[in-house]
Each structure stands twice: as structure tokens, then as C-alpha cells.
């Protein structure tokens, strides 16, 4: 299978850089359309139960604005190598939103990064990548960041 549409999942971390590089290389090599998604994880919003809806919406709007600026920067950078790049910012459960976009846009391949961690930290930190892999029903390429990158003691 030669992918025509590749979906890269961006979390803007240093750990996702190897996955971005791989997605760009694949898109360039195969002449594929590159889709980039960033998901603002709304599953953590229950932590802010005391906030009035309007306050939470303000915070969410700022998060979306910031993500959109970063996605545009990523799009501009990737467009230097890949002919066709589109970006998407969604709010929700990251794995669910990634899968939904893959289905909507008929992505042939999903590229997602994971943290280069082992043991218990690795079990926790790779949950989105594992969930995408389990539910995507299409090829998923998981690129692990080198061990120690972005880890705090």
C-alpha cells in the first residue's frame, strides 16, 4: 500500500519531533497529502468543575488560538518539503478525535509519536498512541522518542 494521505498527530512536544520528521519523509517520498492534527484534551476539564462555563470557554479559546498559531507554523515548515499540508485543531478525547479525522479524511496512514520511557512511566505516557493503534482500523506507525528525551526526574 502506498499512502496518499498521511495523518500526523502533533502534541508540540520535543518527543513528537521524530514522528513529525518521519511523517514528512513519508509524505515527500510517496507524494502524499499531509494532514496534521492537534487535539486539546477535554477529558481533563472535569478538574475545573467550579469554573463557570464562560471562564472555561475563555481558557479554551486561548488554547485553540495558541494551537492554531503553532499548527500554522508547523504547516509552513512542512510545506517546504511536502506539497500539500492541512492542519486541524480539535477539542475532545485525543484518540477519538484522531480516529474521527482519519475516517473523515480517509487517511491511509496515521503517524503518532510516543515518549521514550520505560516501565510504569511508559505505560502511562503511551496511552494515546496505544488507543489509536487499537481502534484505528488502518495502518498506524508509532515512532518512539529516544529514551530520556523530555523526561524529568
Q: Can you give the pLDDT at residue 118?
A: 46
- Give the confidence band of 88 by pLDDT, cuts at 50, 70, 90: very high
Q: Can you give the pLDDT at residue 109?
A: 97
Question: Is 61 within the bounds of a domain?
Answer: yes
pTM across the whole model: 0.85
Domain count, the chain: 1
CATH code for position 86? 3.40.50.620
Three-class secondary structure assignment of 114-151: ECCCCHHHHHHHCHHHHHHHHHCCCCEEEEECCCCCCC
Pick from 119, 117, 95, 99: nearest CA to 107? 99
Question: Is 151 within the bounds of a domain?
Answer: no
Question: Is 102 within the bounds of a domain?
Answer: yes
Question: Is 150 within the bounds of a domain?
Answer: no
Q: Kindly give the residue spans of alpha helices, DSSP state H, lying in the chain.
A: 17-30, 53-79, 94-104, 119-125, 127-135
Task: List the domain range (segments joined by +) for residue 115.
Answer: 5-144
- Give the confidence band of 124 by pLDDT, cuts at 50, 70, 90: very low
* Residue with grid cell 502524499, as numbered in its chain: 32
* Residue with grid cell 514528512, as numbered in its chain: 24
Residue 152 has pLDDT above 70, yes or no: no
The answer to whether the beta carbons of residues 37 and 7 sit under 8 Å apart is yes
* Residue with grid cell 502511562, as numbered in its chain: 124
Q: Can you give the pLDDT at residue 125?
A: 42
What are the two backbone dihedrals, phi and then psi, of residue 9, each rounded to the nearest 5 degrees? Answer: -100, 110
Question: Is 152 within the bounds of a domain?
Answer: no
Amino acid at each position: 500500500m502506498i499512502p496518499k494521505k498521511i495523518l500526523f498527530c502533533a502534541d508540540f512536544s520535543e518527543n513528537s519531533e521524530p514522528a513529525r520528521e518521519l511523517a514528512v519523509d513519508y509524505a515527500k517520498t510517496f507524494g502524499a497529502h499531509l494532514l496534521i492534527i492537534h487535539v486539546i484534551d477535554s477529558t481533563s476539564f472535569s478538574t475545573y468543575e467550579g469554573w463557570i462555563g464562560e471562564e472555561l470557554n475563555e481558557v479554551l479559546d486561548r488554547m485553540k488560538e495558541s494551537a492554531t498559531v503553532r499548527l500554522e507554523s508547523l504547516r509552513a515548515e512542512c510545506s517546504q518539503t511536502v506539497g500539500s499540508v492541512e492542519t486541524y485543531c480539535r477539542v475532545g478525547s485525543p484518540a477519538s478525535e484522531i480516529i474521527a479525522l482519519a475516517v473523515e479524511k480517509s487517511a491511509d496512514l496515521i503517524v503518532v509519536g510516543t515518549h521514550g520511557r520505560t516501565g510504569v512511566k511508559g505505560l502511562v505516557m503511551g496511552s494515546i498512541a496505544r488507543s489509536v493503534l487499537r481502534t484505528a482500523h488502518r495502518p498506524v506507525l508509532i515512532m518512539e522518542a529516544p529514551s530520556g528525551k523530555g523526561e524529568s526526574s
